[in-house]
């Protein structure tokens, strides 16, 4: 594998530079003195931000973009061997790395690399931990899968001690990392276009846990089934969090304010009880916070700093994000695209003041929609009214014989008021005609469904 010499900055090209993670890594290298360029299919706020920093961005991926001037080319897992830039890089014998391999090499330059993994909750937990580290003046380098409002970016370049990043299991990306502290938030079936089944996914997380050195630490959700299969043979310290005293960190006296924000008393090995209040809604965020608090304790951050940082944390872009209101209708946007995430988001929504909860859902990938069709229907049925967009294909081309109409019929069979429209314009017109004062409207999915809410609000 090609090794980047961080003491001698070179010229690096990113294929798919507009992605949230790729754009962050490009910024880290640019700030370290590297000459950085890249390409993406379309212009976006992220690519425009890169251009403002002096990074060259090509729109459209063409073989002519790749020249011998580049010392290394970085690809995402979404780039296939028939991509013209992929072909050109290999024909010119330019060294190539995956996004994960680059991230792993960057991590090795820090004293305490921290990787936060799990099927759900990575971005929110990484954001919570980032706020704690910033409040504690730890000067961390951050790589987050969403825009953290307090820094206005998905990346922050700090000192040489702490590097904090999300760690995605898709295509076993996180197995290229070198963490000293690892967090596993949960393990569920997902990305079944790559993994064979849940056993395959669990095996991958076990391998991730075993990347940790003897002087490292694994922070693990104690609710994961048969956690001993993940931790068996580990030489590092293991800390667990969960709902009860079987775990090292567990909450009691959980209550919610009128906006669904939880408060709780936390029990942990070092402290008999500590009180925390969050400004992000939902029970799932209690457990995200537990993982972040455990990390803060491992790093010996004072409790009061952690308490204040979590109370000030107002969320991350696209994670139950308040977008505005129109005609008395509150518009929220959320990234949920897995049944468990949808269930958690709609449970949080139910605690907010509302007349009816509307969910505009954009299924993400044909394979995920087909695999979880029944589970999607059950989760979405918590909403009063559901509107479906077409499936967002993302990296997939084969429809697998599945469409949003199949999901609509499942929801209607459950007695849920559900409609499908093939275009965003039709959805927006339907919402304008039918949403009423006091309704709560959530746009939901990992694609571009957020545009519906933004168009309604005139943004």
Please identify every residue annotated as catalytic.
Answer: 122-123, 166
The Cα 288–Cα 185 span in angstroms is 7
141-148 and 96-98 as β-strands: parallel, antiparallel, unpaired? Answer: unpaired
Residue 382's SS3 state is coil
Residues 6 or more apart from 183 whose CB is under 8 A from it? 114, 115, 116, 117, 118, 125, 218, 219, 220, 291, 295
Residues 6 or more apart from 217 whose CB is under 8 A from it? 180, 181, 182, 236, 237, 238, 239, 298
294 neighbors 121 (Cβ within 8 angstroms)? no
Token pair 């499942």 is at which residue?
Answer: 410
Q: How far is CA 134 from the centre of its chain?
A: 20
CB atoms within 10 A of CB 111: 10
The Cα 177–Cα 310 span in angstroms is 27
The Cα 313–Cα 144 span in angstroms is 15
Length in residues, the chain: 459
96-98 and 385-388 as β-strands: parallel, antiparallel, unpaired? Answer: unpaired
The Cα 156–Cα 147 span in angstroms is 11
Token pair 């609710």 is at which residue?
Answer: 223
112-117 and 56-59 as β-strands: parallel, antiparallel, unpaired? Answer: unpaired
The Cα 389–Cα 428 span in angstroms is 11
Over the Cα atoms of the chain, what is R_g? 22
Token pair 């500590």 is at which residue?
Answer: 274
Token pair 């799990």 is at which residue?
Answer: 118
Residues 6 or more apart from 148 whose CB is under 8 A from it? 127, 130, 131, 142, 154, 156, 316
Backbone φ, ψ for residue 429 (5° rounding): -65, -40
């Amino acid at each position: 594998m090609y090794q980047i010499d961080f003491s001698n900055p070179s010229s690096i090209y990113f294929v798919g530079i507009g992605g949230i993670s790729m754009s962050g890594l490009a910024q880290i290298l640019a700030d370290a003195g590297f000459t950085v360029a890249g390409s993406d299919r379309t212009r976006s706020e992220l690519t425009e931000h890169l251009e403002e920093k002096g990074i060259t961005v090509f729109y459209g991926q063409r073989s002519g973009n790749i020249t011998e001037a580049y010392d290394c080319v970085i690809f995402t897992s979404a780039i296939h061997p028939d991509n013209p830039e992929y072909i050109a890089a290999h024909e010119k014998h330019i060294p190539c790395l995956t996004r994960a391999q680059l991230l792993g090499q960057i991590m090795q330059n820090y004293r305490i690399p921290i990787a936060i993994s799990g099927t759900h909750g990575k971005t929110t937990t990484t954001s919570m931990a980032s706020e704690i580290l910033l409040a504690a003046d730890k000067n961390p380098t951050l790589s987050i899968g969403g825009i953290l409002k307090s820094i206005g970016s998905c990346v922050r370049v700090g000192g040489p001690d702490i590097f904090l990043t999300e760690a995605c299991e898709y295509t076993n990306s996180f197995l290229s990392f070198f963490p000293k502290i690892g967090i596993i938030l949960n393990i569920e079936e997902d990305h079944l276009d790559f993994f064979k089944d849940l056993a395959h996914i669990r095996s991958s997380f076990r391998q991730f846990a075993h990347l940790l050195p003897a002087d490292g630490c694994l922070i693990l959700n104690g609710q994961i089934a048969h956690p001993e299969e993940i931790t068996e043979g580990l030489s590092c310290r293991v800390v667990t969090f969960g709902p009860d005293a079987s775990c090292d960190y567990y909450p009691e006296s959980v209550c919610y304010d009128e906006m669904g924000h939880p408060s709780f008393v936390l029990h942990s090995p070092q402290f008999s009880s500590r009180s925390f209040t969050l400004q992000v809604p939902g029970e799932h965020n209690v457990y995200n916070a537990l993982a972040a608090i455990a990390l803060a304790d491992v790093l010996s951050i004072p409790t009061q700093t952690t308490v204040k940082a979590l109370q000030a944390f107002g969320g991350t872009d696209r994670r139950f994000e308040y977008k505005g209101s129109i005609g008395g209708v509150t518009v929220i946007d959320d990234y949920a695209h897995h049944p468990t995430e949808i269930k958690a988001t709609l449970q949080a929504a139910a605690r907010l003041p509302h007349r009816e909860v509307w969910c505009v859902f954009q299924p993400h990938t044909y394979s995920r929609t087909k695999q979880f069709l029944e589970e999607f229907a059950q989760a979405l049925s918590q909403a009063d009214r559901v509107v479906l967009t077409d499936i967002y294909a993302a990296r997939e081309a084969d429809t697998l014989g599945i469409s949003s109409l199949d999901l609509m019929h499942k929801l209607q069979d459950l007695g849920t008021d559900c409609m499908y429209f093939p275009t965003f314009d039709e959805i927006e017109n339907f919402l304008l005609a039918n949403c009423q004062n006091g309704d709560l409207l959530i746009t939901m999915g990992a694609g571009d469904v957020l545009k519906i809410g933004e168009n309604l609000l005139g943004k």
